[in-house]
Amino acid sequence: MATTAKKTAKKTARKTAAKRTTAKTAAKRTTAASRTPATPQVTERDPKVLLEDAGYAAAGLAHDVVELARTLPGRLEAVRAEDLRARVNKDVEGLLAQLTTLLDKKAAEGRKVAADVRKDARVARLLDQTGNTRSQVKAAVTSVRKTADVTVAAGRSAGRKQAEVAATQLKGATTSLRRSGQVVGDIAADTLD
Note whether 126 and 168 are same-domain residues: yes
Residue 72 pLDDT > 70, yes or no? yes
DSSP helix, strand, coil percent of the chain (3-state; round to 5): 95, 0, 5
CA dist., res. 86 & res. 187, Å (int): 57
- Burial of 76 by CB count in 10 Å (0-12 exposed, 13-18 middle, 19+ buried)? exposed
The answer to whether position 161 is within a domain reads yes
Note whether 102 and 132 are same-domain residues: no
How many domains does the structure of the chain reveal?
2
pTM reported for the whole predicted model: 0.33
Note whether 105 and 131 are same-domain residues: no
Residue 2 pLDDT > 70, yes or no? no
Domain range enclosing 78: 62-119
The 10s digit of each residue's pLDDT in 121-138 is: 887 888 788 887 888 888
The answer to whether position 163 is within a domain reads yes
pLDDT tier for residue 10 given thresholds of 50, 70 and 90: low
- Burial of 16 by CB count in 10 Å (0-12 exposed, 13-18 middle, 19+ buried)? exposed
